[in-house]
Chains A and B, each alone.
Chain A
Amino acid sequence: MVDLTNLVTDLSRSWIALAFVYAVAAIGLNLQWGHTGLFNAGIAGFFAIGAYVAAIVSTQSLGPGPGGPGHAGLISLFAFPFGVQIAFVVGGLAAMVVCGLIGLLIAIPTLRLRADYLAIATLALSAIAVESIRNWDSVTGGVYGILGVPRPLEFGQDIWRTELAYALTVGLIVLIVFVLMERATRAPWGRTLKAVREDEDAALALGKNTYFLKLQAFVFGAALMGGAGALFATLLRVAVPDSFTPALTFTIWTIVIVGGSGNNKGVILGAVALTFLEYFTVRAKDWFTLTSYWSIRIFYVRLMALGILLILLILFRPAGLLPEPLKATKKPRILIGSG
């Protein structure tokens, strides 16, 4: 029924990488919501901005033609050996910086207000970002989007060009993001963020600059979401506005809640679990002999399954698959500096 070798090959075809892309965004949301209690309802917007910044940085400018309105591109800046790799890194970093700055701009006025204002502002930002992208033809290519976003390692040996090699590259990025974020959030900084999450007024009266702390968490989280968007564009090799619907925001939220809000390992597990669930509902019709009635509907069963899963989880494991650790801090094994 299910051939294991085929399964691995099939999974490596973008599914594993997709799980890792989600994981980067989920680590970002975990910083904002899991640790600091900031409600970001505009994840899709940060994803979209990150994807387009990376796509513009790492592709060649294209003039209007029969295929579409064309788009802006900066690749000529990197036209030298290993230019694609440099474009990939610069594109990803630029996506993070731009999303961090946009996060800062939206956070400065709204983080002084109560939590619900941030949710409304980020939701609005997301809608504005996606609609601007859809309509700013000369820069973003409008509804046609930007095609041919390069992946890293697109040179040399054939084995480097495989889907698996790409998935492992993204996996390495997840590992780096995880290690850095784990260091930061399980240090005194993360503990202070949790104090802000638990009782902001008390943290304020105890002499914490709660506004600045929330700003830090929101900006770093937004930057990670932008980085995830950049990876998303390389995964699909295109950036098109239709990829960035509110459903994407919902997916990342589900990952964080299912995986374990406040636990970086948990949200990575959540990303893998949810992507596998999606994969299963897409592929089930090939594995099992389904009647045509069910093979059409199986994909929509996914949403119902997701809903039931969420309800069961909230009932039986409200803290997620891997709950937040009891102790907020954990000394890292490797320290920098003497003493």
Chain B
Amino acid sequence: MDLLAVERVSKAFGGIQAVDECSIRVDAGSIVGLIGPNGAGKSTLFNLVIGTYAPDAGRIVFRGERIDGLPPYEIVERGLAKTFQIPREFRSLTVLENVMVSARGEPGESPVLSLIGLSRVWRRERELETRSRQLLSLVGLLELAEEPARNLSGGQKKLLELARVLVMEPSLILLDEPVAGVNPTLSLKILSLIESLRGTGKTFFLIEHDMDVIFNRCDRVIVMHQGRVIAEGKPAEVRAMPAVIESYLGG
């Protein structure tokens, strides 16, 4: 069954048609790769799905419910999460706090409950801290938990992005270039993490320029060019398509 269905979605910025009648399906439990030249509209498509932008036309359906036009916090509430291409950590918060602040549905986010110091707020806070530390240990950042996030290296910030979306317990995770600018060992670690999380029932939809990731790790590959989907299928099929070779892969 489709977990996510993007149906003939369009988005223009001024005179630029960033996404042009795009239709995409993502099956539950799969890893789907999205490739295409720079400016093809990949990141814009992600931003449309997560609600940062509202589409000009078309429908976006997640778990059978329309989500296009909803604000991001309502979309996230339904189990979607996205990482940023360039990490957007909260610089002065600690690594642990970056993860904890990303959890959804915390009662302590209400000023009134926080003000009166309800013990339920702080019990949830303790549970959240345990869960956040487990996630930090999963991505290998536990030793840096108390550091301000601005002190992390570029690759570590990518791992923090991953921990931040995982704490939201989403069913579909959009990853915008998860291994770009990351060294090979770390990249391998991120990829095996994604693989093992897929085993626990999570679905991944990722943008990547690393062809090893796309062709060896993804179940399906979608190719965008000038805002349109020009090809999709199994990695081996897509790799052989002349249109893909011409616009993206090169001869």
> B93–A207 contact, CB under 8 A?
no
Q: Which of A194, A204, A329 contacts B52 (CB 8 A)?
A: A204
CB distance from B71 to the nearest CB of A (A): 7
Are A327's CB and B97's CB within 8 A?
A: yes
Closest to A186 in B: B114
* Distance A336 CA – B113 CA, assembled complex (angstroms): 10
Interface centre among A183, A201, A324, A336 (most CB of B within 10 A): A336
- A195: CB under 8 A from chain B? yes
Give the residue of A195, A202, A335 whose beta carbon is less than 8 angstroms from that of B84. A202
CB contacts under 8 Å to B, within A167-203, are 180, 183-184, 187-192, 194-195, 198-199, 201-203
Contacts of A327 in B (CB 8 A): 94, 97, 146
- Contact between A180 and B115 (Cβ–Cβ < 8 Å)? yes
* Residue B59 interfacial (CB < 8 Å): no
In the A-B complex, the 7 residue pairs with the smallest Cβ-Cβ separation, listed nearest first, are A207-B76, A188-B108, A187-B114, A202-B88, A189-B114, A198-B90, A335-B119
Q: Are B125 and A183 in contact (CB under 8 A)?
A: no
B84-A205 in contact (CB<8A): yes
A328 smallest CB distance to B (angstroms)? 5
Interfacial chain B residues near A213, Cβ < 8 Å: 109
Q: Is A9 an interface residue (CB 8 A)?
A: no
Residues of A within 8 A of B (CB): 180, 183-184, 187-192, 194-195, 198-199, 201-209, 213, 216, 220, 324, 326-329, 331-332, 334-339
Q: Does B241 belong to the interface (CB within 8 Å)?
A: no
Verify A194–B90 contact, CB threshold 8 A.
yes
Q: Find chain A residues with CB under 8 A from B148 CB.
A: 326
Bound: A334/B118 CA distance, A: 9
Whole-angstrom distance between the Cβ of B178 and the nearest chain A Cβ: 15
Task: Give every chain A residue within 8 A of B123 (Cβ-Cβ).
Answer: 339
Q: Nearest residue in A to B100 (C-beta to C-beta)?
A: A191
Interface residues of B in 69-125 (CB under 8 A from A): 71-73, 75-77, 81-82, 84, 88-94, 97, 100-102, 104, 106, 108-111, 113-123, 125
For chain B, which range describes its interface: under 10, 10 to 19, 20 to 34, or 35 or more residues?
A: 35 or more
Among the listed A184, A205, A206, A326, which residue makes an inter-chain contact with B114, where contact means beta carbons less than 8 Å apart?
Answer: A184
Q: Which residues of B contact A194 (CB under 8 A)?
A: 90, 92-93, 101
CB distance from B90 to the nearest CB of A (A): 4
Residue of A nearest to B74 (CB): A207
The answer to whether B122 touches A184, judged by C-beta atoms less than 8 angstroms apart, is no
Whether the pair B104, A187 counts as a contact (CB closer than 8 A) is no
Q: Assuming the A-B contacts A201-B88, A207-B76, are A329 and B116 also in contact, with contact meaning beta carbons closer than 8 angstroms in the complex? A: no
* 6 A-B contact pairs sorted by A residue (CB < 8 Å): A183-B116, A199-B91, A206-B164, A207-B73, A328-B94, A329-B125
When the two chains form their complex, are residues B84 and A207 in contact, meaning their CB atoms are under 8 A apart? no
Which residues of B have CB within 8 Å of A195?
A: 90, 93, 101
Q: Which residues of B contact A335 (CB under 8 A)?
A: 117-119, 122
1/0 contact trace for B38-77 toward A, CB 8 Å? 0000000000001010000000000000000001110111
Given A205-B82, A324-B92, A337:B109 Cβ within 8 A:
no
Determine the chain A residues whose CB is within 8 A of the CB of B84 once the complex forms.
202, 205
Residue of A at shortest CB range from B106?
A: A188
Q: Does residue B168 face the partner (Cβ distance < 8 Å to A)?
A: yes
Closest residue of B by beta carbon distance from A194: B93
Are A326 and B94 in contact, CB atoms less than 8 angstroms apart? yes
CB distance from B64 to the nearest CB of A (A): 20
In the complex, the chain B residue whose C-beta lies closest to that of A189 is B114
Q: Known pairs A183-B114, A183-B116, A199-B90. 17 more at Cβ < 8 A?
A: A180-B115, A188-B108, A190-B114, A201-B52, A205-B50, A205-B88, A206-B81, A206-B101, A207-B76, A216-B111, A326-B148, A329-B97, A334-B117, A335-B117, A335-B118, A336-B116, A336-B119
Of the listed residues A198, A203, A204, A327, the one surrounded by the most CB atoms of chain B closer than 10 A to its CB is A198
Asked if B109 contacts A188 (CB within 8 A), the reply is yes
Q: Which residues of B contact A191 (CB under 8 A)?
A: 93, 97, 100-101
A184 and B100 within 8 A (CB): no
Partner of A338, one of B72, B75, B90, B119: B119
Measured CB to CB, the closest approach of chain B to A38, in angstroms, equals 15
Q: Which residue of B lies closest to A208 (CB)?
A: B73
Instruction: Report whether A336 and B72 are in contact in the complex, using a CB–CB cutoff of 8 Å.
Output: no
Nearest opposing residue in chain A for B75, CB measure: A207
In chain B, positions 130-177 with a C-beta closer than 8 Å to chain A are 146, 148, 164, 168
Q: Are B118 and A199 in contact (CB under 8 A)?
A: no
CB-CB < 8 A to B109: which residues of A? 188-189, 192, 208, 213
- For the complex, what is the distance from the CA of A149 to the CA of B239, rounded to whole Å? 82
Q: With a CB–CB cut-off of 8 A, which chain A residues contact B120?
A: 337, 339
Residues of A within 8 A of B92 (CB): 194, 198, 324
Bound Cα distance A83, B151 (Å) = 58
Q: Which of A189, A203, A326, A332 has the most CB of B within 10 A?
A: A189
Please, how many angstroms separate the alpha-carbon atoms of A188 and B249 in the complex? 47
